[in-house]
């Protein structure tokens, strides 16, 4: 499976506003995190997931989500294509990154918050999580 954007929408009236992504299913979601990078370290990189799919939704500010499909978990090619999707709180969309990828999360403004929905139970995370140095793949050419 390839990465995909699940589009949502926004609705506003005199009572306020609602953001939604009605086509996103929580069926396989096991847990979630809210990520807020510091201004001093706005990039959280690189985390690989052999088994876990990630679903990202920006709840405040904006982010660049960078990701690569891993070709070899022990020594991936440094020439892998890095894909980048910009997420903003006003977009109301979810980025689905399937298992088999590594990702880097880059805050674009202060106080940005990103929610990450994960499909792998916490008891299996130690078998899944692979870390690479933050400069393993170039993201800002």
Which structure tokens are listed for 11? 């609705």
pLDDT in tens, 50-85: 999 999 999 999 999 999 999 999 999 999 999 999
What is the band of 140 on the pLDDT scale with cuts at 50, 70, 90? confident
Give pLDDT, residue 121.
94
pLDDT in tens, 1-46: 689 999 999 999 999 999 999 999 999 999 999 999 999 999 999 9
**CA distance readout (Å), 3 to 47, 48, 67, 77, 122:** 16, 14, 9, 20, 23
Per the document, the length of the chain is: 141
Which structure tokens are listed for 27? 């069926």
**CA distance readout (Å), 43 to 71, 105, 112:** 23, 6, 12
Tell me, rounded to whole angstroms, the distance of Cα 33 from its chain centroid. 11
Give pLDDT, residue 141.
57
Give pLDDT, residue 127.
86
């Amino acid at each position: 499976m390839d990465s995909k954007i699940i589009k949502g929408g926004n609705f506003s009236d005199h009572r306020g506003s609602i953001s939604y992504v009605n086509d996103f299913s929580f069926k396989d979601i096991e847990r979630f995190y809210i990520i807020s990078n510091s201004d001093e370290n706005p990039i959280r990189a690189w985390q690989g997931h052999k088994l876990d799919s990630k679903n990202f939704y920006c709840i405040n500010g904006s982010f660049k989500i960078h990701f690569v499909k891993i070709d070899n978990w022990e020594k991936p090619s440094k020439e892998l294509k890095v894909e980048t999707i910009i997420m903003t709180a006003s977009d109301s969309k979810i980025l689905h990154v399937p298992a088999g990828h590594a990702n880097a999360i880059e805050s674009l403004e202060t106080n940005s918050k990103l929610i990450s929905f994960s499909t792998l139970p916490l008891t299996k995370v130690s078998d899944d999580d692979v870390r690479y140095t933050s400069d393993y793949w170039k993201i800002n050419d």
